[in-house]
């Protein structure tokens, strides 16, 4: 019985796939993919443009709520724009500066109110890699629950957008937009206002100033990702002596070169080990003008830049 | 293209068919197409990493988008649809029913997949295939991320529908004269896979909705600024996707059980232990999800529980491997391409499994977490065992689908290139991880060991590319112009081949 059956099956011809049908099928696949590509290629960047709606909601509503609450307090400090560093800003991806972008009437000074529990800064520039970082302003560390000193922007024009970020958490970024001078604002004349930029790169540039340029190794530098050298980019006059103060509890060095793998590491200058809490003098008498990378031999992720003029 | 009994039908009839072989064919062609597309992306990634610095991909955003689409494609558009395709082809034949239980549902389940694929491929999200918050809700740019979420949603529903259909077909439509314990092990594997999908997938479906409402800002499940917990997403995600690892694996295991006894010309060493191991894997797959999250700050007790849960999968997997080896032992093995791929796959599975034990040991996991070790481990498993077994099975099934034989020599050349290439890429990546290379980066520190190992890995990728070129040409040439196969026994191994006209038991 069963052999009869299989015999019957054998007689049925098996229809093989023909090249023609295979070709048709492949053409169908190719056309589908071509249509997809024609849609995708012109839109590739546009598909990646819209920020998630949640961020738009969160930048608007808290501003409105707090606006009511603080409108009463605001007139007391006329000519001051307040920007809040929100609680939880230290968590990557959370909302950070508020409002962002902040509208600053020309001539106003700015105060950052750190409502988070950990220290933050507001430092001009797009990030630690930005060569112009902290040139315009830097609040330096503002501890949790405290307010920064008032920052007066100088040399900015109306309509300009200024990016800034937090040195401690470089993913916290914000923007300031300079708008027309506010009503009754103090006016743009405040040339004497302190910028808070005490450690800016320009500060060390004088060279001849009493005490000479100072390079500080901040406390906690040994932890990867923490701020290390302050200022990170120091400009000094040729032949000057730089005082290196190690405020951390662990030993560090200031050694020329991009890292321990750099074949020229330590060739130009090297303080060798500076114990925690001690200072050393870096003599640049033999060093030619130009930019130099330096790092810490003990913690190669601590890097900085020294420019000799 | 499908094997047809009376006369060739117009292609659109296959396209809109509800017959299980037609849908199986669509699944297989679709998944192979996406496999090659995802492979092109992989080659792009490896080319970028050939040297430190910028090679091919200029900004890291594009790099993130590329590896996200690569991962999503390979997992959800290659491995899962291919398994369903083989199931569609063979399950009704194996349980001796005329079709799947619900043919129209079957067609719906297939046609949702191209829709999901289109959403993923037109959007190019940058969330990586895991889409961890808070990045995916607070920063990932839309509409790409939204399209990814909806694409995955549709793919998830499609898997659930397919799984329901398989469970009902196997359990209810099985011929009454065919006992459950006489079914081929491939049916058991598809049954286990479908049960895992049914139990695990709803969790991820819920997590996707929560992710989307979080993005909209109406909820804050995973949004720390609104009191949510990003780690909760990881639990929901891995509750689905650790079992899903077995959804990728078990169909391949079932295919190996089809190939090994036939080409060894010996019955399976122990059918019962195979079934037991499938059931064990189905259960144990739910006991290990948090081993992906050892580094998230779980308590020691939690970590220990999940470490032991993970190790519990080892005996079940070892039962399968032992079963295969014992079946081959003393058999008169005829080394045609299908069994060559399977044996290569078993060797690489053993290596991947050994690496997996290192990962799952909680203290060692801290060393390997988020490093290239993990990339190497999971790719060795997906490329090594699963893709090897799948390609072997395509060769095995080609006579049934097209009525023609493939080119044996080209297939063996492809096997050696694939085996060597896969080993070069992914074993090296384990070492890269131990050396400290993080995953998901477009650039790396230019030091000699990293450069050399990345270059070995990239050369391996090019070898795999060559093998896949041979594969594609072999498939096309054989499907259109190959020698007509002797349908009783195309591999001349003295074993019965599938005959889809034969549905009665005791035939």
pLDDT in tens, B193-250: 999 999 999 999 999 999 999 999 899 999 988 889 999 999 999 999 999 999 999 9
When mean pLDDT is compared across A42-51, A61-70, B424-433, the lowest value belongs to: A61-70
Residues 6+ apart with CB under 8 A from A308: A235, A236, A237, A238, A284, A287, A288, A289, A290, A291, A292
Mean pLDDT of B87-108: 93
Encode pLDDT of B164-183 as tens digits: 999 999 999 999 988 999 99
- CB pair distance less than 8 Å for B133 and A93: yes
B507 touches chain A (CB under 8 A): yes
B365 touches chain A (CB under 8 A): no
Mean pLDDT of A78-93: 80
Cβ A285 vs Cβ A269: under 8 Å:
no
DSSP-derived 3-state class of residue B31: helix
Predicted pLDDT at A182: 55
Q: How far apart are the first and last CA of chain B?
A: 28
Q: Residues of B numbered 99-138 whose beta carbons fall under 8 angstroms of chain A's beta carbons: which are they? A: 118, 121-124, 126, 133-135, 137-138
Q: Which residue in B has a C-alpha nearest to residue A2's C-alpha?
A: B507
Q: Identify all chain A residues contacting B4, using CB atoms and an 8 Å cutoff.
A: 15
Chain A nearest CA to B410, separation (Å): 19
Q: Is B408 exposed, middle or buried (0-12, 13-18, 19+ CB in 10 A)?
A: middle
Predicted pLDDT at A206: 37
- CB pair distance less than 8 Å for B122 and A16: no
pLDDT band at A157 (very low <50, low <70, confident <90, very high): confident
What integer best gives the mean pLDDT of chain A? Answer: 75
CA neighbor of B252 nearest in space, from B426, B79, B500, B106: B79
Cβ B113 vs Cβ B77: under 8 Å:
yes
Residues 6+ apart with CB under 8 A from B80: B155, B159, B247, B248
Task: Using the predicted structure, report yes or no on whether residue B417 has a pLDDT greater than 70.
Answer: yes
> Of the candidates B147, B215, B502, which has its C-beta nearest A52's C-beta?
B215
Q: What percent of chain B has pLDDT over 90?
A: 81
DSSP-derived 3-state class of residue A281: strand
Cβ B162 vs Cβ B84: under 8 Å:
yes
**Greater pLDDT, A151 or B206:** B206
Predicted pLDDT at B174: 92
Q: Where does chain A show beta strands of DSSP type E?
A: 48-50, 80-85, 97-98, 102-105, 109-114, 123-124, 151-152, 161-165, 173-179, 214-217, 229-230, 233-236, 241-246, 255-256, 279-283, 290-295, 303-308
Pairing between β-strand A161-165 and β-strand A123-124 as defined by DSSP bridges: antiparallel
Q: Choosing among A1, A6, A16, which should be mutated to test the B contact, i.e. which has the most B CBs within 10 A?
A: A16
Predicted pLDDT at A207: 37
**Greater pLDDT, B475 or A274:** B475
Encode pLDDT of B383-393 as tens digits: 999 999 999 99
Complex prediction ipTM: 0.89
Within a 10 A sphere around the Cβ of A235, how many other Cβ atoms? 20
When mean pLDDT is compared across A288-302, B147-161, B171-185, B284-298, the lowest value belongs to: A288-302
Q: What percent of chain A has pLDDT over 70?
A: 78
Q: How would you classify residue A255: left for phi > 0, otherwise alpha for psi between -120 and 50, otherwise beta?
A: beta
Cis, peptide link before residue A99, omega less than 30° from 0: yes
Cβ B504 vs Cβ A47: under 8 Å:
no
Cα gap A124→A102, rounded to integer Å: 13
CA neighbor of B463 nearest in space, from B43, B38, B41: B43
Cβ A204 vs Cβ A213: under 8 Å:
yes
- CB pair distance less than 8 Å for A25 and B139: no
Q: Identify all chain B residues contacting A16, using CB atoms and an 8 Å cutoff.
A: 402-404, 484
Encode pLDDT of A158-207 as tens digits: 778 888 888 888 888 888 888 876 544 333 333 333 333 333 333 333 33
Predicted pLDDT at B179: 92
**Greater pLDDT, B35 or A307:** B35
Encode pLDDT of A205-264 as tens digits: 333 334 578 888 888 887 777 888 888 888 888 877 888 888 888 888 888 888 877 888
Encode pLDDT of A282-297 as tens digits: 888 878 888 888 888 8
Q: Which residue in B has a C-alpha nearest to residue A54's C-alpha?
A: B217
Cβ B99 vs Cβ B17: under 8 Å:
no
Cβ A295 vs Cβ A257: under 8 Å:
yes
A7 touches chain B (CB under 8 A): no
Q: Residues of A numbered 44-83 whose beta carbons fall under 8 angstroms of chain B's beta carbons: which are they? A: 44, 47-58
DSSP string spanning B294-311?
GGGT--HHHHHHHHHHHH
Pairing between β-strand A233-236 and β-strand A303-308 as defined by DSSP bridges: parallel
Task: Using the predicted structure, report yes or no on whether residue A65 has a pLDDT greater than 50.
Answer: no
What integer best gives the mean pLDDT of chain B? Answer: 92
Task: Using the predicted structure, report yes or no on whether residue B376 has a pLDDT greater than 60.
Answer: yes
Chain A nearest CA to B216, separation (Å): 5
Predicted pLDDT at B4: 60
Chain B nearest CA to A53, separation (Å): 5
> Of the candidates A36, A53, A88, which has its C-beta nearest B118's C-beta?
A36
Q: Which residues of B336-372 are buried (b: 16+ CB within 10 A; e: fewer)?
A: bbbbbbbbbbbebbebbbebbeebbbbeebeebbebb
Distance of CA B428 to the CA centre of its chain: 22
A100 touches chain B (CB under 8 A): no
Encode pLDDT of A216-229 as tens digits: 888 888 777 788 88
When mean pLDDT is compared across A140-149, B271-280, B409-418, B462-471, the lowest value belongs to: A140-149
Cβ B160 vs Cβ B201: under 8 Å:
yes
Task: Using the predicted structure, report yes or no on whether residue B102 has a pLDDT greater than 80.
Answer: yes
Note the pTM of the prediction, 2 decimals: 0.71
> Of the candidates A9, A44, A94, which has its C-beta nearest B501's C-beta?
A9
């Amino acid at each position: 019985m069963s052999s009869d059956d299989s015999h019957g099956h054998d007689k049925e011809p098996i229809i093989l796939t023909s090249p023609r049908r295979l070709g048709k099928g492949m053409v169908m696949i190719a056309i589908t993919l071509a249509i997809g590509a024609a849609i995708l290629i012109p839109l590739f960047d546009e598909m990646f443009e819209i920020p998630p709606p949640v961020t738009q909601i969160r930048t608007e509503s808290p501003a409105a709520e707090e606006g009511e609450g603080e409108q009463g307090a605001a007139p007391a400090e006329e000519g001051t724009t307040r920007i809040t560093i929100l609680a939880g800003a230290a968590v990557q991806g959370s909302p950070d500066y508020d409002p962002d972008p902040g509208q600053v009437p020309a001539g106003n000074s700015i105060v950052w109110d750190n409502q988070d529990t950990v220290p933050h800064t507001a430092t001009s520039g797009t990030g630690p890699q930005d060569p112009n970082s902290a040139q315009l302003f830097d609040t330096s560390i503002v501890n949790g629950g405290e307010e920064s000193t008032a920052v007066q922007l100088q040399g900015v024009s109306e309509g300009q957008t200024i990016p800034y970020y937090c040195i401690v958490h470089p993913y916290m970024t914000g923007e300031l937009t300079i708008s027309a001078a506010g009503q009754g604002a103090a006016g743009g004349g405040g040339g004497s206002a302190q910028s808070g930029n005490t450690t800016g790169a320009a500060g060390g540039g004088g060279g001849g100033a009493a005490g000479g340029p100072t390079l500080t190794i901040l406390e906690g530098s040994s932890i990867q990702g923490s701020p290390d050298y302050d200022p990170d980019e120091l400009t000094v006059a040729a032949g000057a002596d730089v005082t290196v103060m190690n405020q951390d509890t662990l030993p560090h060095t200031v050694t020329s070169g991009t890292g321990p793998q750099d074949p020229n590491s330590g060739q130009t200058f090297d303080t060798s080990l500076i114990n925690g809490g001690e200072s050393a003098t870096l003599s640049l008498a033999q060093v030619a003008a130009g930019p130099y990378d330096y790092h810490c031999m003990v913690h190669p992720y601590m890097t900085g830049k020294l420019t000799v003029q | 293209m499908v094997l047809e009994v009376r006369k060739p039908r117009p292609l659109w009839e296959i396209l809109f068919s509800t017959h299980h072989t037609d849908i199986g064919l669509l699944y297989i062609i679709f998944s192979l197409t996406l496999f090659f597309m995802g492979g092109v992306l992989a080659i792009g990634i490896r080319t970028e990493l050939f040297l430190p610095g910028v090679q091919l991909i200029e900004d890291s955003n594009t790099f993130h988008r590329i590896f996200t689409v690569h991962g999503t494609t390979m997992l959800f558009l290659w491995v899962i649809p291919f398994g369903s395709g083989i199931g569609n082809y063979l399950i009704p034949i194996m349980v001796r029913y005329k079709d799947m239980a619900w043919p129209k549902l079957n067609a719906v389940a297939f046609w949702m997949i191209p829709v999901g694929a289109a959403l993923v491929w037109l959007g190019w999200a940058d969330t990586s295939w895991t889409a961890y918050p808070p990045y995916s809700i607070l920063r990932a740019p839309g509409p790409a991320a939204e399209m990814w979420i909806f694409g995955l949603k549709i793919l998830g529903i499609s898997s659930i529908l397919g799984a329901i259909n398989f469970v009902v077909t196997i359990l209810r439509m099985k011929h009454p004269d065919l006992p459950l314990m006489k079914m081929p092990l491939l049916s058991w594997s598809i049954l286990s896979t479908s049960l895992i999908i049914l139990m695990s997938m709803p969790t991820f479906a819920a997590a996707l909705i929560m992710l989307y409402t979080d993005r909209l800002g109406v909820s804050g499940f995973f949004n720390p600024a609104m009191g949510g917990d990003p780690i909760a997403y990881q639990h929901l995600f891995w509750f689905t996707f650790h079992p899903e690892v077995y959804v990728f694996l078990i169909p391949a295991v079932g295919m190996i059980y089809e190939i090994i006894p036939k080409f060894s010309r010996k019955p399976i060493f122990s059918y019962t232990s195979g079934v037991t191991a499938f059931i064990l894997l189905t259960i144990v797959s739910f006991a290990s999800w948090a081993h992906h999250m050892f580094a998230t700050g779980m308590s020691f007790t939690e970590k220990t529980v999940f470490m032991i849960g993970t190790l519990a999968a080892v005996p079940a997997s070892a039962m399968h491997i032992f079963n295969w080896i014992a079946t081959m032992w003393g058999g008169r093995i005829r080394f045609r391409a299908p069994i060559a791929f399977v044996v290569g796959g078993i060797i690489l599975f053993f290596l991947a499994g050994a690496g997996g034990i290192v990962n799952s040991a909680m203290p060692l996991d801290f060393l390997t977490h988020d490093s290239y070790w993990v990339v190497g481990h999971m790719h060795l498993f997906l490329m090594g065992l699963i893709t090897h077994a799948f390609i072997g099975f395509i060769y095995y099934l080609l006579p049934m689908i097209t009525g023609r034989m493939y080119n044996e020599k080209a297939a063996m050349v492809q096997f050696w290139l694939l085996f060597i290439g896969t080993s070069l890429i992914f074993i090296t990546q384990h070492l890269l991880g131990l050396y400290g290379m993080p995953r998901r980066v477009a650039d790396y520190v230019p030091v000699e060991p990293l450069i050399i190992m990345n270059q070995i890995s990239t050369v391996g990728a090019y070898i795999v590319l060559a093998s896949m070129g041979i594969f594609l040409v072999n498939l096309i040439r054989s499907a259109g112009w190959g020698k007509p196969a002797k349908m009783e026994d195309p591999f001349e191994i003295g074993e019965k081949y599938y005959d889809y006209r034969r549905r009665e038991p005791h035939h």
